Amino acid sequence: MIIKILTLFPKMLDSIFHHSILGRAQSKGSVAIEAVNIRDFSASKHNSVDDYPFGGGCGMVMTPQPIIDAHQAVLKNITSDEKIRTIYCTPKGKVFNQELARELSKEKALIFLCGHYEGVDQRVIDELVTDEISIGDYVLTGGELPAAVMIDSVVRLLPGVLSQEESYEDESFYNGLLEYPHYTRPREFRGNNVPDVLLSGDHAKIDEWRRCQSLKETWLKRPDLLEKKQLKKNEKKCLKKIQEALEKEEM
């Protein structure tokens, strides 16, 4: 996969993409990530990229020329018969989730546009943007952090990026449920013991315990997810036991 990020602050992103899983993914050749400086494409004598909004108001707006020229330059370096999705990071967009991450991970290339100041000229959105995406109902200084969040989530889903030990299949949201609790050494810490089933060596029982714990975590912390999930017969039985046990604790 090829990922290009159009930004005014490429150095802000460089350190993120060269460490941990994202860094290894690039070393393996699974993904090529580049932050492109929009300011380099400004036709202004002073390399300006923003101006006052028509109609008045606070703040500045990013002008269309540098962004569109940067976008065209990036497209020339991407060979694809398909239309490249250009994602504008904005609180006005569709909220990002795991399902959308899976969808984007199937693309051959992605372009992220990071706004700043009061945002970008609407004509940029009308001409270039295919997806407006938000990472939550709050406002950030710019689109760099949302772009990094989405890229991290997408890249880890690419084939061969995660090892078997790091597999995402048991992670929260992958199967519509929150992830089960994890334990490691020591077996006892400050009077708290690792659940016996995890020490039993019985993998069938361990899998069953983990599934029930995922249901419990989801019921307690994100019950809204269960409304979208079609539970199997054994999962419904497990959830019923969890609910009954919790009701007894409250009595």
Instruction: Give tens-digit pLDDT for 77-125.
Output: 898 888 999 999 999 999 999 999 999 999 999 999 999 999 999 999 9
| pLDDT reported for residue 167 | 65
CATH topology of domain 169-250: Trp Operon Repressor; Chain A (1.10.1270)
Instruction: Give the C-alpha separation, 246 to 139, whole Å.
Output: 37
Residue 146 sits at φ, ψ, to 5 deg, of -60, -40
| pLDDT reported for residue 9 | 97
Instruction: Give the C-alpha separation, 18 to 26, whole Å.
Output: 8
pLDDT confidence of 248, banded at 50, 70, 90?
A: confident
Statement: residue 234 has pLDDT above 70: yes
pLDDT tens digits, 181-207? 999 999 999 999 999 999 999 999 999
Residue 232 token pair? 């199997």
| pLDDT reported for residue 168 | 62
CATH 1.10.1270.20 in the chain is located at: 169-250
Residue 236 sits at φ, ψ, to 5 deg, of -65, -40
| pLDDT reported for residue 59 | 94
What's the rounded mean pLDDT across residues 217-238? 93
Instruction: Give the C-alpha separation, 206 to 94, whole Å.
Output: 37
Instruction: Give the C-alpha separation, 68 to 158, whole Å.
Output: 29
Closest CA to 238 of 225, 218, 228, 222: 218
Strands 50-51 vs 85-95: parallel, antiparallel or unpaired: unpaired
| pLDDT reported for residue 166 | 59
How many of the other CB atoms lie within 10 Å of CB of 144?
23
| pLDDT reported for residue 228 | 85
Q: Are 36 and 4 in contact (CB under 8 A)?
A: yes
| pLDDT reported for residue 249 | 84
pLDDT confidence of 173, banded at 50, 70, 90?
A: confident
CATH topology of domain 2-164: Alpha/beta knot (3.40.1280)
pLDDT confidence of 52, banded at 50, 70, 90?
A: very high
Question: What pTM was estimated for this model as a whole?
Answer: 0.88
| pLDDT reported for residue 250 | 78
Q: Which residue reads 């079609």 in tokens?
A: 230
**E strand intervals along 63-182:** 85-95, 109-114, 131-134
Q: Which residues pair with 37 in a beta bridge?
A: 7
Closest CA to 5 of 64, 89, 124, 92: 89
**E strand intervals along the chain:** 2-7, 32-37, 50-51, 61-62, 85-95, 109-114, 131-134, 188-189, 192-193
| pLDDT reported for residue 251 | 61
Statement: residue 170 has pLDDT above 80: no
Of residues 171 and 219, more confidence is placed in: 219
What's the rounded mean pLDDT across residues 42-51? 95
Residue 73 token pair? 């330059």
What's the rounded mean pLDDT across residues 135-149? 96
Statement: residue 155 has pLDDT above 80: yes
Percent residues over pLDDT 70 in the chain: 96
